[in-house]
């Protein structure tokens, strides 16, 4: 067995770290406070080809896989962006490019992939609804056939990045949930031209004020009589679940990567402070009550990383990766939370000051235990699907 990262992934780590070296913690703090997209980093990542890593070479990308995307996400996150990095790699390189490369028609790939590879075009993904969060198969946004078109009505929530997206992957039902047998049947994913849909009045959105991760707004989305041509279906009508798995597993893996990087940066901040801050005539890190939580986080980070890379490698090799992705997500977001909490406790009262980065790290880490799927649902998957325990729902 060989645990060395492939050269491609090592190149990604070096290259992305090089880009990120020009942006410090204050830069990321400013983006968060000003609630603005990190345009400068985005442009630099685009220039070096770091956004198109998983786009096939014939469409202008680097022809790499999810492992390289995960390493890029982790590196960006660990450089100081923490939670914000998730959106930079999940929304467009993940939701958009990775999914289109696997499920797009020739025309869709031709039209969109080259622009997704350069970051010139961005995407977002709309699945969650007010009454269908954890239970995503229960969505009720419905696409009704009308001649050769579809007309869509419904409501979505927590849809991140709509403001910048040229295309939205909109998940709908073409068979209502109560009539679908099995329940995974009757889902259809559309590629919606966002500015066009907004102009036509079929799509409106409203940002939700939120606790952290403010570099990108998350929105309520309202779909009213949105008319879409059949050519905008991604994958097959009624068989959208195949597309969905290939969105949700990479999403978990990339969010796990972001969480892992967030854990690393929180640990670094905590350890630095524990070395510098002196109380009772010695650095506080000399006290085991301070040192051990940090040491434990280090162990959690290394464990999560192993599972993260295994999950990404499985996806790239066409192997089942649902369980691995879930475990990676569970472990990494837990590590991020524990790391942020340990860094917070290490900083004592100063942690509460927004002049230190710890409060931001803590707020960002908290959402990782809930989005895109709660810890409880991840454990449910392990309990019922892996251990064969009886279902409660």
Partner 1 sequence: MNIVVCVKQVPDTATERKLRSEDKTLDRDAADGVVNELDEYAVEEALRLKEAHGGEVTVLSMGPAKATETIRKALAMGADKAVHLHDDALHGSDALGTSYAVSQALKKIGFDLVILGSESTDARTGMLAAMLAERLGAPQLTLASKVEIEGTAIRVERITDYGYDKVEASLPAVVSVVEKINEPRYPSFKGIMAAKKKPVETLGIADADIAADQVGLANSWSEVVDFAAAPPRAAGTVIKDEGDGGARAAEFLASKKFI
**Given the rule CB under 8 A, which of 47-55, 77-85, 147-155, 327-335 is the region that contacts partner 1?**
47-55
Q: In this structure, how many other beta carbons lie within 10 angstroms of the beta carbon of residue 83?
A: 29
Between the alpha carbon of residue 51 and those of residues 47, 109, 134, 258, the distances in Å are: 9, 16, 29, 15
> Considering the complex, what minimum distance in angstroms separates the CB of residue 48 from partner 1?
4
Which of 53, 90, 166, 308 binds partner 1 (CB under 8 A)? It is 53
Site string for partner 1, 18-37 (x = CB under 8 A): xx------------------
Please tell me whether residue 269 binds partner 1 under the rule CB under 8 A.
Answer: no
Asked if residues 126 and 168 have their Cβ atoms less than 8 Å apart, the reply is yes
Look at phi and psi of residue 102 and say left if phi exceeds 0, alpha if psi is from -120 to 50, else beta.
alpha
Please tell me whether residue 8 binds partner 1 under the rule CB under 8 A.
Answer: yes
Mind telling me the catalytic residues?
251
Which of 30, 35, 48, 287 binds partner 1 (CB under 8 A)? It is 48
Please tell me whether residue 199 binds partner 1 under the rule CB under 8 A.
Answer: no
Please tell me whether residue 50 binds partner 1 under the rule CB under 8 A.
Answer: yes
Give the bridge partners for 199, in sequence order: none
Token pair in block for residue 393 = 């729902």
Which of 27, 29, 49, 242 binds partner 1 (CB under 8 A)? It is 49
Q: Do strands 187-193 and 149-160 pair parallel, antiparallel, or not at all (unpaired)? A: unpaired
Q: Do strands 149-160 and 218-229 pair parallel, antiparallel, or not at all (unpaired)? A: antiparallel
- The label of the residue with tokens 């990095």 reads 85
Q: For partner 1, give the closer residue by CB, 48 or 229.
A: 48
Please tell me whether residue 165 binds partner 1 under the rule CB under 8 A.
Answer: no
- The label of the residue with tokens 């472990």 reads 331
Q: For partner 1, give the closer residue by CB, 18 or 146.
A: 18
Q: For partner 1, give the closer residue by CB, 120 or 178.
A: 120
**Given the rule CB under 8 A, which of 13-21, 26-34, 74-82, 144-152 is the region that contacts partner 1?**
13-21
In angstroms, the CA 285 to CA 306 distance is 27
Please tell me whether residue 54 binds partner 1 under the rule CB under 8 A.
Answer: no
In angstroms, the CA 237 to CA 387 distance is 33
Look at phi and psi of residue 252 and say left if phi exceeds 0, alpha if psi is from -120 to 50, else beta.
alpha
Please tell me whether residue 58 binds partner 1 under the rule CB under 8 A.
Answer: no
Binding region for partner 1 (CB under 8 A): 7-8, 11-12, 14-15, 18-19, 44, 47-50, 53, 62, 64
């Amino acid at each position: 067995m060989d645990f060395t990262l492939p050269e491609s992934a090592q190149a990604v780590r070096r290259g992305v770290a090089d880009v990120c070296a020009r942006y410090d913690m204050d830069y990321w703090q400013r983006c968060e406070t000003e609630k603005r997209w990190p345009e400068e980093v985005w442009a630099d990542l685009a220039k070096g080809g770091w956004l198109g890593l998983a786009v096939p070479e014939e469409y202008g990308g680097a022809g790499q896989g999810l492992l390289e995307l995960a390493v890029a996400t982790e590196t960006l996150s660990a450089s100081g962006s923490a939670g914000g990095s998730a959106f930079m790699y999940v929304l467009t390189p993940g939701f958009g490019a990775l999914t289109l490369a696997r499920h797009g028609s020739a025309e869709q790939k031709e039209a969109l992939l080259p622009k997704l590879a350069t970051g010139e075009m961005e995407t977002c993904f709309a699945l969650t609804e007010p009454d269908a969060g954890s239970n995503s198969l229960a969505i009720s946004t419905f696409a009704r056939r009308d001649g050769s078109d579809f007309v869509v009505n419904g409501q979505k929530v927590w849809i991140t990045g709509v403001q910048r997206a040229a295309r939205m992957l909109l998940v709908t039902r073409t068979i209502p949930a109560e009539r679908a047998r099995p329940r995974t049947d009757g889902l259809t994913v559309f590629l919606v031209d966002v500015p066009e849909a907004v102009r036509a009045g079929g799509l409106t959105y409203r940002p939700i004020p939120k606790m952290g991760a403010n570099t990108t707004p998350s929105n309520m989305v309202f779909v009213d009589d949105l008319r879409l041509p059949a050519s905008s279906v991604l994958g097959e009508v009624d068989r959208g679940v195949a597309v969905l798995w290939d969105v949700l597993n990479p999403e978990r893996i990339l969010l796990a990567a972001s969480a892992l990087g967030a854990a690393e940066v929180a640990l670094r901040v905590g350890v630095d402070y524990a070395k510098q801050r002196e109380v009772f005539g010695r650095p506080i890190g000399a006290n085991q009550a301070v040192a051990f939580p940090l040491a434990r986080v280090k162990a959690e980070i290394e464990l999560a990383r192993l599972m993260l890379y295994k999950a990404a490698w499985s996806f790239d090799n066409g192997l089942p990766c649902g369980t691995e992705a879930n475990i990676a997500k569970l472990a990494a977001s837990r590590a991020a939370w524990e790391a942020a909490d340990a860094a917070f406790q290490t900083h004592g009262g100063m942690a509460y000051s927004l002049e230190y980065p710890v409060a931001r790290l803590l707020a960002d880490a908290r959402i990782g235990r809930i989005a895109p799927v709660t810890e409880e649902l991840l454990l449910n998957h392990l309990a019922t699907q892996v251990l064969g325990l009886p279902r409660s729902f």
